[in-house]
């Protein structure tokens, strides 16, 4: 990843976590939690868009076997939502 892009994302994450978490909140996954909130809000809580982002992140990270199960679970869950 371009170091400039990573630096910009880090800046956004750091600023956002100050705004969305109460003072004193600690988590070893706070950056991941913050990114999750950012993505959720960016895509206006649209599950399909969030799923697509997660799917592509797993593909980029070579979690192909996981993604096969992820697709099946998503399709099963999405189908239940429309029954």
pLDDT at position 44 is 98
Query: Using N-to-C axis directions, what is the helix angle for 3-20 and 30-42, rounded to 10°?
Result: 90
Q: Report the predicted TM-score, pTM, of the whole model to 2 decimal places.
A: 0.84
Q: How confident is the model at residue 83, as a pLDDT?
A: 66
Quote the CA–CA distance of 11 and 1 in Å, as a whole number: 15
Q: What is the pLDDT along the chain (83 residues), one digit of tens a residue?
A: 688 999 999 999 999 999 999 989 999 999 999 999 999 999 999 999 999 999 999 999 999 999 999 999 999 998 877 66
For residues 32, 67, 81, 52, the Cα torsion angle rounded to the nearest 10 degrees is 60
Give the whole-angstrom CA distance, residue 23 versus residue 72: 39
> What is the per-residue pLDDT for 1?
67
């Amino acid at each position: 990843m371009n170091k400039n892009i990573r630096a910009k994302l880090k800046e956004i994450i750091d600023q956002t976590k100050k705004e969305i978490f109460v003072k004193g909140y600690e988590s070893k996954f706070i950056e991941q939690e913050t990114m999750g909130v950012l993505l959720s809000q960016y895509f206006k809580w649209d599950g399909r868009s969030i799923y697509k982002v997660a799917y592509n992140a797993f593909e980029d990270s070579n979690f192909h076997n996981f993604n096969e199960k992820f697709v099946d679970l998503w399709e099963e869950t999405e189908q239940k939502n429309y029954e």
